[in-house]
Chains A and B, each alone.
Chain A
Amino acid sequence: MRAPEQQPSGQQAGRRAVVTGLGVVAPNGVGTDAFWKAVQQGLPVLGPVTREGCTGLPLRVAGQVNDFDPAGLIESRFLVQTDRFTHFAMAAADLALADAQLATDPEAPFAIGVVTAAGSGGGEFGQGELQQLWGQGPHFVGPYQSIAWFYAASTGQISIRGGFQGPCGVLANDEAGGLDAFAQACRTIRRGTDAVVVGATEAPLAPYSVVCQLGYPELSLAEDPQRAYLPFTEDACGFSPAEGGAMFVVEEEAAALRRGARIRAVVAGHAATFTGTGGWDRSRQGLARAIQGALAEAGCSAADVDVVFADALGVPAADQAEALAIADALGPHAADVPVTAPKTGFGRAYSGASALDVAAAVLALEHGVVPPTPNITEVRHDLDLVTGHPRQVRLRTALVLSRGLMGCNAALVLQRADDDPKRYARR
């Protein structure tokens, strides 16, 4: 197992990263307000898979983004050369940039970079072109196949469309990529870039992509949307996949303050580990190390954690490993810290899932509300999983956890901006 990365913290390097914009495209809502309303209420939106070409496949339940009209949001010249996962990314980036009131400055085009994570790329677009290949011949494959399927497509298209010529990157990663992208954005900011458009989106609900996922033993094939994804319970039977994700604007704190931006949260710490695919019990040590590394970078103790956004895979061995990892890393505090997993209401959008958890965590910190874990009643682990109703509690520090099917583990610490004493000492 690789040790958690030991980067100098934002504080040490003197360039802290803060979140100034949120953009969400999720099965339970497009836009931050709709998303938060649904998350706070614990609205379950998992439902039958209705996508063309998918209805005859063994996957019955997923989180579909149904209220999304790409043609109304994205220029057609970008639509024709991109997959749905990039449509989500461009739309979410627009929302985040509008929230942050940030646009590229023609005088300083290198001031803004882009970082995205993706676990599968543009499966639907790729399938269409492969059908052309086998149906009509190589000459009928369009040239945009060369870029649309690619994991890096969203970063590239957001950069081109917005004129963001700062450092760009992509993490071709599993679920944890949605948190690791924040680490890369923070590194980019420490190295001198003022702002990074960062996040992750996925669109895995197309026939080829669904068939690929059928090979995952963790995938839930249950038929009842309310019973398909029940992590931390006796009835856990895998996870329901989802599409969508979130994009953010992360800025260097002083630059954000100079332009009068609203600081929504501080990206305080991150660490990642890799424990491979040899059994979910191995993720216990990896996730615990990631939590410890992220807290150390944030300068927090275990007792400072006010809420945990769990990975919540829904596989008994994985749930057990996560509960134990939280206990290993947080000690006695693990039994009384509120834990939540809003994604049980709308599914796991792979790398987009952890990005959506970051969005939910920022909103939870702002509202002083721990949202509930939809569809869950009886919890079999020694965790204070918030179920049923949202819980009002003063929140300063949120811990977001993610594990991927390919063995990555990551933890991200977010803090409220407005009662961070360090920030005011520095002004």
Chain B
Amino acid sequence: MPEIPLVSTDAESTDATTTDFDDPVEEAALLASGIELGYGEEIVVDFDDLVIPEGEVTALVGPNGSGKSTLLKGLSAELEPASGSVLLNGRDVQQRPAKDLARELGLLDQENAAPGGLTVEDLATHGRYPHRGFLDPLTEDDREAVERAIDLAGVDHLRDTQLSELSGGQKQLAFVAMTLAQDTDVLLLDEPTTYLDLHHQLRVMEVVRTLNEERDVTVCVVLHDLQQAARFADYLVALDDGAVYDWGPPEDVVTEQLLADVFDVDAAVSFDREDDEPRIVPRRALD
């Protein structure tokens, strides 16, 4: 990746040099630079620069233990980097008050604790948490945002159902509704489809896609299914052992070389003429 000069936490002073992309720093919703992330002494993720472009869907892919989820924790300010910084729209995520950050950055986990007695609508309403003060009741805006979120997540028919009565897929869609009600410009998703059946996997990804297309929300999603990532994302970031192996549009990133180097899989990659989407046919695991 080209060198990107570090920018200060001030959004005005982002005068980056021109590189392969128009202006990666200017276009970046999230920019991680010189980052080292880990737990205690052990550093799991360590690389120079990563740009999550504004208004696009970016997928983080890589094998188990490559640091995808750790990187996401760094991006969401859940984990403080040992060095380097993560800038959200030019401002360091670590420096910002939690509520302030949560109005701009949403996070959806792969699996969520669901208190049984809660209805889907209650859960979606909790998504308004960062927009409400300690004693503020729901405003008209809050109610509208909750309605939009429930509608977009397609859980309208379940709104009065308790979470304990939902299937895993429906539950995840309910949590999607909660995250949507948060009304953020940037959305991080940590393997949102891992425990879901195919139908709900597609439902979740379609909601995310719609959100990106209709409301221009920047999405960064960790996926371990490379094929799914190639289908839904505009950009792929392939991680290998805590470092960025490659970055770019799926048709450039998904190669037989990548599958061999990063995933240790011998596979054939072909391109469908109609949609330019790479097709992966795995053959065998490499030692």
Q: Do A and B come from one complex?
A: no
- Hey, which bits of chain B sit against chain A, CB under 8 A? none
